[in-house]
Structure 1
Amino acid sequence: MSEAPWLTIIGLGEDGPAGLCNASRDALAQAACVMAPARHLSLIPDGAEQIEWPVPFAQGVDLLMARRGQPTVMLASGDPFWFGAGTTVTRHLARDEWQAFPGHSTFSLAAARLGWPLEATVCLGLHAKPLSRLRPHLAPSQRIIVTLRDGDAVVELGTYLEQTGFGASHCVIMEALGGPRERVTELPAADLSDGVASHPVCVAIEVRGEGRPLPRVSGLADDWFAHDGQITKRPIRAMTLSALAPRASEHLWDIGGGCGSIAIEWLLACPSLSATTIEPRADRVALISANATHLGVDRLSVVHGAAPAALENLTPPDAVFVGGGLSPELIHSLETLPAGTRLVINAVTLESEALLVQTCNRLGGELMRMEIANAVPIGPKQGWRASFPITQWSHTL
C-alpha cells in the first residue's frame, strides 16, 4: 500500500471549517503544519503549527516544498483548481504526493445567488490579471463573473467599463460569499466608484451600453490595432489565419510581427492557444505588447530580435507565420522544425516571391496569389485602387 500524500490542499469557504467535508476535517486535524494566507488562518482553530503564506506567492511555494514529506495542509479559497493556487503548487509534485478537497467556488456561489447558468456565463479570475482580459467578452447581454483583488479593483473595473463604452452595465458586487460577512450590492458600472468593497470580492456583470464589441471571427478591422503602417490588412489577415488554421492548445511563431495583428487574432481564437512574436524593431515590440494588452491577450510573448537567430530556445511551434524578414537562411531554419509543423509565409516583393516559388518547387505545398482592390473616389465617380499583390506559400513539414 502506498503512503498517504504528505500534502492536502483544502478549499476553505468564508464559513471556515463548518463547511468542510469529513475528509478535509480529518486532514486538518492530523496536519503537523497549516500554510495559508492570514485570512484563512484566522478561520481555523489553533492546533498545528501555522505558517502565513508570504507575498510574493512564489516564496510560499518554496517554503511548502521545504516541508516535503511532513503532513501539511495548504488552505486556499473555494475551489483551488478554478483560477486558484492548486495548479501552481501541484506542478512541482508527483501525483501521489498530494490530495485535494475543493470547496464551493466563488463562481458557483455567485451563480447560485443570481440564478445564472454557469455554462453560459464567462468566468474570469482577475485578482492578479489586467482588466483588459475582459475586452473580448464585452458585448451587450453577455454575463460575466470576475474575481478581483480588492475594493480598489472594483473601482478600477467601473472605470474600465466606462472607458470602453459599457458604463451602463448592471453590476452585482458580492463580498465574502458563503460567510457571516457576506454582502451583495447592485449598481450600474458607472457608480462602482461610489462604494467600498472588501476582500474577498467578485463582481457579476450583465453587459450593457454602446461600446464596440470585439468581433469573434478572423479579420478584425485595421483600426482595432495601433500601427505605424506595418500591418497585415484585414482581408489578407483573415485569409492568412484561415491558412494557419489554429487548433486548441497550439503554439504559433509570428516572425516579423509588425503590430502583432496575426498573433493577437490567433490568440483571440481560443483561450488555450499561445504565441510568440519575433520583431527586430524595439518600437514595434512595445507596440505589439500594447496591442495585445488592449485586446485582452496579454499572454502573448514578444521577443525582440531577428530570425533565425532569435528562434533559438523558443517553445517549439505547431504553426509558423512569416510576415517579414524572409531570407534563404530563415527558410532553411524552418525546414528543421518537427514534422507536422504548418508554415504560412506571405511575400510582397518580387525577390521574396521568387524565393517562395523556389521553395515550393523543392518542398511542395501550396502557392496562392491574393490581390485586393478597394473602391475609391475618382472625381464625382468611383474606381478601383489595387493594393500590392500578396503571394502566400503554405506547407506542412
Structure 2
Amino acid sequence: MSRFVVVGIGADGWAGLSGAAQRELGSAVRVFGSARQLDLLGSVLDAELTAWRSPMSEHLRAVLTATGGGPTHLLASGDPMFHGLGTTVAAAVGAQNVRILPHPSSVSLAAAHLGWDLSTVGVVSLVTGEIGDVLGEAGDRRRLFVLSRDASSPHTVAEMLRDNGFGDSTMTVLEQLGGPDERVFAGVAGAWGVAPGDALNVIALECAGPSRVLTPGLPDDEFAHDGQLTKQAMRALTVAALAPTGGTVLWDVGAGSGSVGIEWLRVNPTGSVVAFERNSDRIARIRSNAIRHGVAARLTVVAGDAAQTVPVFDGPAPDAVFAGGGLTAEVFSSLWSALGAGGTFVANAVSIPTQQLLVDLAARHGGALRRISIEEVAPLGTVTAWRPALPIVEWVATA
C-alpha cells in the first residue's frame, strides 16, 4: 500500500473526477489540499480535511516526514505530474511510495478549448519560474501556454511582451477551465487593459515579434557589454566546444557580459550556469542580459575574484567550465579539481602569457589546441578591406 496518494482535481470538483478517483477519496481518512480544492469537495467526504498552511513547502515537508497510520491523500490541481505536486512528492519519498491519479492538466483543457495541437506548443510556468522565462520561449509565430502565478500574471506578461518587441502578440486568458465559472477573454498584448480576474488562469500566446534563433552565435548587439565580450563567431565555436547537454552545469569564469553562459542556456533548457565575475558593473549587465534572453532563473552570479571565490564555492559542481580571459595556473588548478571525470574544460586566450599557459596545460592534460583567426569586412578610407581580429588560442580538454 502506498504511503501517499495524490489525486488531481479540476475546477469542476467532485463531478469531474473519474470513478477511480472518487472511490479513492471516498476511502480516505486524511486529505490535504488548498482551501479552494477542499471547498470543491463540499460535504462529500467523511475524511479529516486539512488546508495547507503557509508556507506550503514547510507544511508539506512535515506531512511527508510524518510516520504511522494509513495512506495520506493529497489534492493537486489538474495533472499532478505536470508542473505539479506529484513530482515533488515522488522526488521526496520515492515513486514506489506514491500513487498518482491524474486529472486533465490546465494546458490540456486550454488546448482542447482553442483547438491547438498540444505537442507543438511551448509551456512556461510562472508558478515555479520567472516572468523572464516567457522571453526565453517566445518567437515569431510561436504558440505558448503560460501557467499563471496569480490574477496579476496576464498583465505582467502583457507588459513584458510589449516592452520586448512582442506587443502585437495575441493573448487569450482562460480562467477556471472546466468549472462552472469558466471565463475566456482575449486581446493584444500591447493594448492589454483587462482588469485582473481569477487567480486560477492559463495564458495562451500567439507570438508576433522577433524570430526565435536556436543556434548559438547571436549578434553582439544582443548583449549589453563594455567590450568584454566573446564575439559572435568565436562565441558560437565556444558554445559548441562546451557541448551543452540536458541538465548539466556550466561554470563561466570571468563571465564579462555573460554571453557564453547565456547562449549555453538557450540551447540547454534544463541546464544551469554559475557565472564568476568580480566587476560590479559587469555583474549588473550579466543579470540584465540574462533577463532579456529569458534565462535569469537558471543563472547564478558569484561576485568576486575567481582566485578567491572558486576554491570556496559550495554550489553545484560543474559538468563544463569556460575560462574566457585572465586564466592563471592557480585558478586552473581549482577549476580542474572541481570538474568531475568526463567534464569539459574550454579556455580562450588572447594575450601571449595566457596562450603560453594553455600550451603548457595542453602538454600536461592533452585535449585539442587550436589558434583561431577571424577577419571581417570594414571601411578603409573610401574603400573596404578585411580587418583581422586578434588571434585567439582555444584549448578544449576532457577531465
TM-score, structure 2 as length reference: 0.92
Aligned length: 392
CA distance in 1, matches of 2:223, 2:212: 12
Check whether the contact 1:31–1:48 (CA below 8 A) recurs between aligned residues: yes
| 1:213 equivalent in structure 2 | 211
Secondary structure of residue in 2 paired with 1:173: strand
1:355-389 residue CA offsets vs partner (Å, 9 max, x unmatched) = 11111122221111112222222221122332222
| 1:22 equivalent in structure 2 | 19
Check whether the contact 1:170–1:186 (CA below 8 A) recurs between aligned residues: yes
1:1-397 matches, cutoff 5 A: 4-46=1-43, 47-70=46-69, 71-208=71-208, 211-298=209-296, 299-311=298-310, 312-336=313-337, 337-397=339-399
CA distance in 2, matches of 1:196, 1:335: 51
1:138-175 residue CA offsets vs partner (Å, 9 max, x unmatched) = 22211111111233211122222211222222222111
1:86-105 residue CA offsets vs partner (Å, 9 max, x unmatched) = 22233221333221111100
CA distance in 2, matches of 1:230, 1:247: 26
Q: CA deviation at 1:61?
A: 1.8
CA distance in 1, matches of 2:67, 2:26: 19
**2:371 corresponds to which letter in structure 1?**
R
CA distance in 1, matches of 2:289, 2:164: 15
Q: CA deviation at 1:74?
A: 1.1
Check whether the contact 2:139–2:210 (CA below 8 A) recurs between aligned residues: yes
CA distance in 1, matches of 2:283, 2:54: 30
1:228–1:317: structure 2 CA closer, same or farther, 3 Å change rule?
A: same
1:51–1:288: structure 2 CA closer, same or farther, 3 Å change rule?
A: same
Q: CA deviation at 1:308?
A: 4.8
CA distance in 2, matches of 1:45, 1:308: 61
Identify unmatched segments of 5+ residues in structure 2: none
Check whether the contact 1:146–1:204 (CA below 8 A) recurs between aligned residues: yes
CA distance in 2, matches of 1:104, 1:198: 19
Check whether the contact 1:158–1:193 (CA below 8 A) recurs between aligned residues: no
**1:289 corresponds to which letter in structure 2?**
R
CA distance in 2, matches of 1:20, 1:8: 15
**2:181 corresponds to which letter in structure 1?**
R
Check whether the contact 1:255–1:278 (CA below 8 A) recurs between aligned residues: yes
Secondary structure of residue in 2 paired with 1:129: coil
Q: CA deviation at 1:66?
A: 4.8
Secondary structure of residue in 1 paired with 2:306: coil
Q: CA deviation at 1:108?
A: 0.5
Check whether the contact 1:136–1:213 (CA below 8 A) recurs between aligned residues: no
CA distance in 1, matches of 2:307, 2:117: 48
1:221-250 residue CA offsets vs partner (Å, 9 max, x unmatched) = 111112222111111101111111212222
Secondary structure of residue in 1 paired with 2:40: coil
1:116–1:31: structure 2 CA closer, same or farther, 3 Å change rule?
A: same
Secondary structure of residue in 2 paired with 1:146: strand
Q: CA deviation at 1:220?
A: 0.9
**1:18 corresponds to which letter in structure 2?**
A
Check whether the contact 1:150–1:197 (CA below 8 A) recurs between aligned residues: no
Identify unmatched segments of 5+ residues in structure 1: none
